[in-house]
């Protein structure tokens, strides 16, 4: 079996995980101090979002030095201590490689700005007039994707913030520099890598206006992307490490190629299509209730497509860019526990490697900020202005942010009911969610029936039953938008996973043979109700049935 199929990855946003020195910002020592908690949960890898020196305009995704640690998070010794301590517990550390762009404070960009042509060719500079950007492409954080440098009389490309300048991967010297970075961290004992927006690195040979959109069709899964990934992996010899690419607006065919072992690119891919089913007209900033049918169909297309093509999915609901899933598809009220557990089972038992984002395992929710001053994320602040310019009232714009802001997932981890949720003794860099007195790790550990306990069981089950990692997937009840149901098969074994996506009790047609199956897991105590050929599912109920012939 490929080494990553039966593994579970836990994502840590260090700034918000645990603050060991009371300055209000989480740090690397804080992670080391919580290793017992993570080992007990049972996870195999910890993916840390960037901890490298950075002006923090995009919380570390604006890297100023790839081979050092930002003092905000600690020192290199702290990271080495974490790597060693984690390894003692059988946990590997994965680092986040932000290779599409650097911070404009990176020495390469600084040299480019000072007029050094060698370093200008590290980036994407274009001659031009101050009032005429080279193309009409839009930045993903709002506004033009080009910035004019008066001193040079040139524009540079930034698909994200103006302080995140895109690297020129067509320049072999850039590719060599980035390989050095991977080798550096590999040599430090890191066990895997997450590659940030890696399917955007290959830009077109000619830059032209996009009359149909924001430019993404020219650089998404760009012309040399597969060649560049193969080269990076081959020359740094990371074929046997766990690697995951973040794929922005990608396609199934490309993800098959990125993750088919025969291609020797990456272990697996994140794609985001299933997290856009509540975007009205595909626009993140327009609210709409989630389209459950679309959600089901997207999972089906990707699961079956990746299976047929021998690709491998990274399975996830939450990360540092997404609002909390219980707030989005589940319930923050009466069915908080049930819905959080159902959403966990729904995703963990699909075909792929599951990722848990810090706090997801205790059912953390969006914080419901009501004041723009509570938001810190660059994308949220930019879009707040854009929404106002488009004619929304401040209240309407705040409503959109409350549902869509990336800060929703970045609030400090809720460890206890103590001040600052036990995250820190000194403060919190970002406002906490008010519910930390009820929703916290301490409370979860004291409750045998907690969401945390359920995640723990799911992880344990993956280790016990190979069918979860290896089995084939088939979908059931495809036309019923209220239930997400599938079956896994492997040799003589069969697993049936039924998830009620709604807050109502529902009845679905059932197979009589299920009567003889074993209930492996569920989010309601007691018996399940199969009568004749019907199965009743309580609100947000999930039921995992198993049979070995």
Helix (H) or strand (E) holding 260, with range, is none
User: Residue length, the chain?
Assistant: 549
Q: How far is the CB of 60 from ligand GLC (least distance, A)?
A: 9
Select 61 or 122, whichever has its Cβ closest to ligand GLC: 61
φ and ψ of 494, to 5 deg: -145, 140
Task: Please list, in sequence order, all residues whose beta carbon lies within 8 angstroms of the beta carbon of residue 186, skipping any fewer than 6 positions away.
Answer: 236, 237, 238, 241
Select 27 or 58, whichever has its Cβ closest to ligand GLC: 58
Q: How far is the CB of 472 from ligand GLC (least distance, A)?
A: 31
For ligand GLC, the nearest residue by Cβ is 61
The number of angstroms, rounded, from the C-alpha of 307 to the middle of its chain's C-alpha atoms is 21
Select 196 or 541, whichever has its Cβ closest to ligand GLC: 196
Task: Please list, in sequence order, all residues whose beta carbon lies within 8 angstroms of the beta carbon of residue 288, skipping any fewer than 6 positions away.
Answer: 278, 279, 280
Longest CA pairwise span in the chain (Å): 78
Structure tokens at 308: 């047929």
Q: How far is the CB of 53 from ligand GLC (least distance, A)?
A: 15
Select 124 or 521, whichever has its Cβ closest to ligand GLC: 124
Select 6 or 360, whichever has its Cβ closest to ligand GLC: 360
Question: CA-based Rg of the chain, rounded to a whole angstrom?
Answer: 23
Active site residue 246: yes
Binding site for ligand GLC (CB under 6 A): 58, 61, 98, 160, 196-197, 246, 320-321
- Strands, E assignment, 201-295: 242-246, 268-270, 279-280, 283-287
Task: Please list, in sequence order, all residues whose beta carbon lies within 8 angstroms of the beta carbon of residue 176, skipping any fewer than 6 positions away.
Answer: none
The secondary structure of residue 439, as a DSSP letter, is S
Q: How far is the CB of 309 from ligand GLC (least distance, A)?
A: 24
Query: What Cα–Cα distance (Å) separates residue 350 from each residue in 246, 345, 498, 504?
Result: 19, 9, 12, 24
d(CA 493, CA 470): 11
Structure tokens at 161: 């913030």
Q: How far is the CB of 452 from ligand GLC (least distance, A)?
A: 25
Q: How far is the CB of 363 from ligand GLC (least distance, A)?
A: 22
Q: How far is the CB of 324 from ligand GLC (least distance, A)?
A: 16
Active site residue 227: no
> Mapping DSSP to helix (H, G, I), strand (E, B) and coil, where does residue 237 land?
coil
d(CA 31, CA 74): 11
Catalytically annotated residue among 246, 265, 407, 541? 246
Q: How far is the CB of 355 from ligand GLC (least distance, A)?
A: 12
d(CA 506, CA 384): 40
9-12 and 45-48: which strand pairing?
A: parallel
Catalytically annotated residue among 70, 196, 332, 379? 196
Select 197 or 467, whichever has its Cβ closest to ligand GLC: 197
d(CA 24, CA 431): 11
Select 323 or 422, whichever has its Cβ closest to ligand GLC: 323
CB 169 within 8 A of CB 219: no
Q: How far is the CB of 320 from ligand GLC (least distance, A)?
A: 6
Query: What Cα–Cα distance (Å) separates residue 92 from each residue in 1, 3, 69, 273, 351?
Result: 18, 12, 18, 28, 22
Select 145 or 485, whichever has its Cβ closest to ligand GLC: 145
d(CA 159, CA 165): 8
Select 276 or 478, whichever has its Cβ closest to ligand GLC: 276
d(CA 366, CA 380): 14
Residues with catalytic roles: 196, 246
């Amino acid at each position: 079996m490929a080494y990553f199929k039966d593994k579970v990855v836990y994502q840590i946003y260090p700034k918000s995980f645990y603050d060991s020195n009371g300055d209000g910002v989480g740090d690397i020592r804080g992670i080391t101090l919580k290793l017992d908690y993570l080992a007990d949960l049972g996870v195999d890898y910890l993916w840390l979002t960037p901890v490298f020196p950075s002006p923090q305009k995009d919380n570390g995704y604006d890297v100023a030095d790839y081979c050092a640690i930002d003092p905000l998070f600690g020192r290199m010794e702290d990271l080495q201590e974490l790597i060693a301590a984690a390894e003692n517990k059988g946990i590997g550390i994965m680092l986040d490689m932000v290779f599409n762009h650097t911070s404009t404070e990176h020495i390469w960009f600084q040299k480019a700005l000072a007029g050094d042509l060698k370093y200008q060719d590290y980036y994407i500079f274009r001659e031009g007039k101050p009032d005429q950007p080279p193309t009409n492409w839009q930045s993903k954080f709002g506004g033009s994707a080009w910035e004019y440098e008066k001193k040079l009389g040139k524009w540079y490309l930034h698909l994200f913030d103006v302080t995140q300048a895109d690297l020129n991967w067509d320049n072999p010297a850039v590719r060599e520099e980035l390989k050095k970075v991977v080798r550096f961290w590999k040599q430090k004992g890191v066990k895997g890598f997450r590659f940030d927006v890696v399917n955007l690195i290959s830009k077109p040979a000619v830059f032209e206006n996009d009359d149909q959109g924001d430019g993404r069709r020219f650089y998404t899964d760009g012309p040399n992307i597969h060649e560049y990934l193969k080269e990076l992996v081959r020359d740094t010899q990371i074929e046997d490490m766990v690697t995951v690419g973040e794929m922005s607006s990608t396609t199934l065919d490309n993800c098959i190629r990125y993750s088919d072992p025969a291609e020797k690119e990456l272990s697996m891919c994140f794609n985001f299509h299933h997290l856009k089913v509540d975007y009205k007209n595909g626009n993140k900033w327009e609210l709409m209730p989630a389209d459950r049918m679309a959600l089901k169909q997207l999972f089906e297309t990707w699961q079956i497509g990746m299976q047929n093509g021998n690709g491998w999915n990274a399975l996830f609901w939450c990360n540092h860019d997404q609002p909390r899933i219980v707030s989005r598809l589940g319930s923050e009220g009466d069915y908080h526990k049930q819905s959080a557990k159902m959403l966990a089972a729904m995703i963990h038992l699909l075909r792929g490697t599951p990722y848990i984002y810090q706090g997801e395992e205790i059912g953390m929710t969006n914080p419901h900020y009501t004041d723009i001053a509570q938001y810190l994320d660059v994308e949220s602040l930019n879009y707040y202005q854009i929404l106002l310019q488009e004619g929304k009232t401040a209240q309407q714009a705040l409503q959109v942010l409350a549902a869509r802001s990336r800060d929703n997932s970045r609030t400090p981890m809720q460890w206890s009911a103590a001040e600052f949720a036990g995250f820190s003794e000194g403060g919190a860099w970002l406002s906490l969610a008010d519910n930390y007195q009820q929703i916290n790790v301490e409370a979860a550990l004291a409750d045998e029936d907690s969401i945390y306990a359920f995640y723990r069981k799911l992880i344990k089950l993956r280790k016990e039953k190979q069918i979860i990692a290896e089995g084939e997937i088939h979908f059931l009840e495809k036309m019923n938008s209220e239930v997400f149901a599938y079956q896994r098969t492997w040799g003589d074994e069969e697993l049936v996973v039924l998830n009620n996506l709604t807050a109502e009790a529902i009845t679905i047609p059932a197979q009589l043979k299920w009567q003889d199956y074993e209930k492996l897991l569920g989010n309601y105590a007691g018996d399940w109700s199969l009568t004749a050929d019907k199965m009743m599912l309580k609100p947000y109920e999930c039921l995992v049935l198993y049979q070995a012939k």
